[in-house]
Structure 1
Amino acid sequence: MSQQLLIEYPLKRPAARDNPLARGADGVLRYGNLTPALTELLDLQVHAFSGREAVVEIGGPRLTYRELWHSASRVAGGLQEHGIGYGDRVAIHLPPGARWVQAFLGALLSGAVPVLVPDGLSPAAARRVLEDSCADFVLGGDLPDGAAFIDDGAALNDLALLCYTTGTAHPRGVELTNENLLSAVRSVVGALDLPTDGLRNLVLLPLAHASGCVDQLLPTFAVGGTVVLVPDPARLTETVAAERIDMVSATPRIFARVLPDLVRGLEKSRTAGVSRVCTASHRAERSAATPAALADELRELFPAARQWSVWGATETSGIGLAVDSESAADPRTVLGFPFGGTELALYGPRAGSGHGELLCRGPNVTRRYWRDPNATAARFTGTWFHTGDQVTIDPDGLVRRD
């Protein structure tokens, strides 16, 4: 029987000076200067950028940071009047848009744990998520409204979000703490070098997934940027130019679906302001598009943009590996370099020669699955999360599909 080896690949790239990382007693790298909770970070940004647009829904509301925070605090007050408080679970079961964001923030501000019900689930699967999460309240219609309320008692190790996996018949709840979320936000802001001068991010990723909520919505808020949402795909082309978009975020599958219309409807002069394109590849997604061809099409459409490809899993807060267009990388095989506090290991009989199952650990990685100790035991070796992906790791830390 082949021996199963676990070979660690310590993080080689030093963290930026303003993002200090120190190794904890459990061996995991952690940020040392995080706010105690996600709500506190958002509160600081609301006061710093109160007059800026926070969320723009094309064909719907346009909310400044002040307006969004006030409306969310009234949702929190309404939840409190329904008996919802610290640690209760509030499911967000709404279509993507400004109301989704208000509901999500309202649940956070109430002290509850938002439960993200993934987009596109069948009614039966959505019911299973609601039952499995033991949701105490479901935000799925009119949002509750009460006196403005903010619960600011959360701590770093507290459960802050319940996010469900996708790509399987039975979605599994992933517990994400304030530290997981804040670490992921800090890592994305640093890796993508997000500016604080008014970023306008066209987010095409589903908000009810880690890739959309944790890796795009929250980092954009963290730098005082604007999240632009387009519920009607027919209005996508006009939005890029009219809303002065400078960042576009989607999965390879979504980009493949919308690119033909964008190419037909946009001239290069109207996309010159887009400086960042972020393609989020989830562990469970297998895009039908050819990655190399897709990267070329994106480069043709957005010639001034730096392209980023970010890889992750729900269990890693949606992040873990990234590579940009300035690297000489083959997009057909490359997943990226670890960033933030994410460290890697290989597991399997060939791990010593650089081939094996990819394992991740870091401040963004969940500690466990929700109410599923068997799955937790099966998918974790100590602090290492087993991704299930077979990869190779180059001497410089670049991860490729095997």
Structure 2
Amino acid sequence: MRNRGVGGWPARRAQMSPGRPAFVYGDATTTFADVHDRATRLAERLRSAGVRHGDRVAYLGPNHPAFAETLFATHLLGGVFVPLNWRLADPEISYLVEHSGASVLVRAPNCAAPSDPASLRAVVALSDPAPGEIDYEPWVRSGDPTPIDEPVEEDEPALILYTSGTTGRPKGAILTHANIVWNCVNIMIGVDVASDDVTLISAPLFHVAALNQTLLPTYLKGGCSVIMPRWDVDSCYDLMAKHRITWMFGVTTMFGEFARSPRWDTADLSSLRNLMCGGAPVPPALIRTFQDRGLVFCQGYGLTETAPGATFLEARESVTKAGSAGVPVFFADVRVVRPDLTDVEVGEPGEVLVRGPNVTPGYWGDPAATAAAFTDGWFHSGDIATVDPDGHLYIVDRLKDMYISGGENVYPAEVEGVLFEHAAVAECAIIGVPHARWGEVGKAFVVLRPGATAGVPQLQQHLGERLAKYKVPLEFELVDALPRTGSGKVLKARLRAGG
């Protein structure tokens, strides 16, 4: 087989375990042989729509087996898969489609395609296609099942995953096929993924963690992925009972809701082998809640750009090292450095740098951002950590002003830019503040223009029409002025301190 990338996985898995279940979605089960057949047919259909080696195919919608089918089909042709956050507002999605240059978009019925993007040649709807769109299911079934063996190398781009930066514009992190494979290897070493694992895919697949930390490692190993369209705590309990789930990834918010459920005390959780958490610091009390039930609870640290695993704290250390992000994954190197790039001493804060085969080669169409992100092959995470005497990392702050709300990264510069577009806003600054349910939420400090009368409801409505809901600050404070440095920069540290 000349396809050395992820696109070759369905054929290899179908040969090894054709009749075993690969995906469960609702009442439908898809075997590994089914995935191979459907991905091949879809790849032929995409090729008929003009998709060629290196072209981008985007997917917009909640979790569904079609997400994986589209990914594998794209990779069969040597294309690049672009999963989009379906929670974004229409202008945000339009930008990502245009920036990636996607030629085909596969969308869920509850997600409208962007209007007239120049790069799109075809829109495929999972159901209820609009005029001019293609109906996914009959289109796939009509595809030619003849095997496709397009040459694809490990170092070619496989994914473009959009992650906003401090400039406020999303950046497309490129992950190669090799990045994905090495991340899977690191996971299998840290978590002991088994071929009989039944993995609950409960976090959104457009995020690197759900895709690369659970679905793809499970598929590679020959396990079964039970796919939830979106997170719902009662559905989670139901699926655990029905399918005897063995492995689950979630963010802190999800595990908090799981443990607070009225079903927690009586639910049979004996099938669970591993619970894996990431995306935000995990309160030690929450870890103990799960361990008191005899459950294995692991946590780690990473970024989209590191595919994502950079460090991992295995279960045996999750009590003694509570609050730690763990040690570097097996096939990666991590340093914590001072501004002069010398290594910090024990307990001294510094920036986290990562190097390894799991690290992105750069950002799509952005050589300046790529160059700025690396020093001598080391990726700058923008996160601040300390290291203890045993080499365990503790994330303590961020160089960037990003905060995490319910597992979603929020970048203040992006929200500030949209808020500033309101006619009544003269100046604004946004910080993350603690929140009991979401971990962090946004707080906006707003200076109104002279004579303006806009209130908080109008500002929230303005943002809500243009941004995803989780990006809209829950708290607003109208102020006379923002604290600034002598050079004019806003002193966000003073805002966080209440002054």
TM over 0.5: yes
Letter in 2 for 1:50: P
Q: Residue 24 of structure 2 is aligned with which of 56, 61, 67?
A: 56
Describe the superposition over 1:26-72 as per-residue Cα deviations: whole angstroms up to 9, x where unpaired: xxxxxxxxx932223443222212111111112x5311111122112
In structure 2, how many angstroms separate the alpha carbons of the residues matched to 1:276 and 1:363?
25
Larger Rg: 2
Letter in 2 for 1:52: R
Where do residues 217-256 of structure 1 align in structure 2 (5 Å cutoff)?
217-231=215-229, 233=232, 234-256=234-256
Corresponding residue for 2:54? 87
Are 1:265 and 2:263 an aligned pair?
yes
Paired residues of 1:291 and 1:331 also in contact (CA < 8 A): no
Q: Secondary structure of 2:182's match?
A: helix
Q: Secondary structure of 1:265's match?
A: coil
- Runs of 4+ in structure 1 deviating by more than 4 angstroms, as ranges, are 166-169, 266-269, 328-332
Structure 1 position 344, deviation (Å)? 1.2
Corresponding residue for 1:136? 103
Paired residues of 2:385 and 2:395 also in contact (CA < 8 A): yes
Q: Secondary structure of 1:66's match?
A: helix
Paired residues of 2:8 and 2:76 also in contact (CA < 8 A): no
Paired residues of 2:284 and 2:323 also in contact (CA < 8 A): no
Letter in 2 for 1:342: A
Structure 1 position 106, deviation (Å)? 2.0
In structure 2, how many angstroms separate the alpha carbons of the residues matched to 1:255 and 1:351?
35
Structure 1 residues 86 and 38: alpha-carbon distance in aligned structure 2, compared to 1, 3 A threshold: same
Corresponding residue for 2:35? 68
Where do residues 3-402 of structure 1 align in structure 2 (5 Å cutoff)?
36-58=4-26, 60-140=27-107, 141-142=125-126, 143=136, 144-145=139-140, 146-148=143-145, 149-165=147-163, 169-196=168-195, 198-231=196-229, 233=232, 234-261=234-261, 264-267=262-265, 270-281=268-279, 286=280, 291-300=283-292, 303-327=293-317, 329=319, 333-349=323-339, 351-354=343-346, 355=348, 356-402=350-396
TM-score computed with the length of structure 2 as normaliser: 0.67
Q: Secondary structure of 1:388's match?
A: strand
In structure 2, how many angstroms separate the alpha carbons of the residues matched to 1:395 and 1:256?
30
Letter in 1 for 2:205: L
- The worse-fitting range, judged by mean Cα deviation, of 346-355 and 229-238 is 346-355
Letter in 2 for 1:123: D
- The structure showing larger relative contact order (alpha-carbon pairs under 8 Å, at least 6 residues apart) is 1
Letter in 2 for 1:188: I
Q: Secondary structure of 1:353's match?
A: coil
Q: Secondary structure of 1:387's match?
A: strand
Paired residues of 2:22 and 2:31 also in contact (CA < 8 A): yes
Letter in 1 for 2:285: A
In structure 1, how many angstroms separate the alpha carbons of the residues matched to 2:368 and 2:345?
31
Describe the superposition over 1:11-38 as per-residue Cα deviations: whole angstroms up to 9, x where unpaired: xxxxxxxxxxxxxxxxxxxxxxxx9322
Describe the superposition over 1:103-122 as per-residue Cα deviations: whole angstroms up to 9, x where unpaired: 22222223211011124222
Uncovered stretches (5+) of structure 1, i.e. residues with no partner: 1-34
Structure 1 position 324, deviation (Å)? 2.2
Paired residues of 2:7 and 2:73 also in contact (CA < 8 A): no
In structure 1, how many angstroms separate the alpha carbons of the residues matched to 2:235 and 2:40?
31
Corresponding residue for 2:495? none
Paired residues of 1:173 and 1:369 also in contact (CA < 8 A): yes
> What value does the CA root-mean-square deviation take over the aligned residues?
2.2
Q: Secondary structure of 1:153's match?
A: coil
In structure 2, how many angstroms separate the alpha carbons of the residues matched to 1:334 and 1:94?
34
In structure 2, how many angstroms separate the alpha carbons of the residues matched to 1:348 and 1:39?
41
- The worse-fitting range, judged by mean Cα deviation, of 139-148 and 269-278 is 139-148
Structure 1 position 346, deviation (Å)? 2.3
Paired residues of 2:57 and 2:74 also in contact (CA < 8 A): yes
Structure 1 residues 272 and 329: alpha-carbon distance in aligned structure 2, compared to 1, 3 A threshold: closer
TM-score computed with the length of structure 1 as normaliser: 0.83
In structure 2, how many angstroms separate the alpha carbons of the residues matched to 1:128 and 1:366?
22
Structure 1 position 329, deviation (Å)? 4.7
In structure 1, how many angstroms separate the alpha carbons of the residues matched to 2:72 and 2:365?
24
Structure 1 residues 61 and 377: alpha-carbon distance in aligned structure 2, compared to 1, 3 A threshold: same
Q: Secondary structure of 2:249's match?
A: strand
Letter in 1 for 2:381: T
Structure 1 residues 258 and 269: alpha-carbon distance in aligned structure 2, compared to 1, 3 A threshold: closer
Paired residues of 1:275 and 1:304 also in contact (CA < 8 A): no
Structure 1 position 166, deviation (Å)? 5.3
Structure 1 position 267, deviation (Å)? 5.0
Describe the superposition over 1:275-297 as per-residue Cα deviations: whole angstroms up to 9, x where unpaired: 1111123xxxx46xx62122123
Paired residues of 1:312 and 1:321 also in contact (CA < 8 A): yes
Structure 1 residues 272 and 381: alpha-carbon distance in aligned structure 2, compared to 1, 3 A threshold: same
In structure 2, how many angstroms separate the alpha carbons of the residues matched to 1:395 and 1:319?
22
Q: Secondary structure of 2:334's match?
A: strand
Structure 1 position 394, deviation (Å)? 2.7
How many residues align? The count is: 356
In structure 2, how many angstroms separate the alpha carbons of the residues matched to 1:330 and 1:119?
39
Corresponding residue for 1:28? none
Letter in 2 for 1:80: R
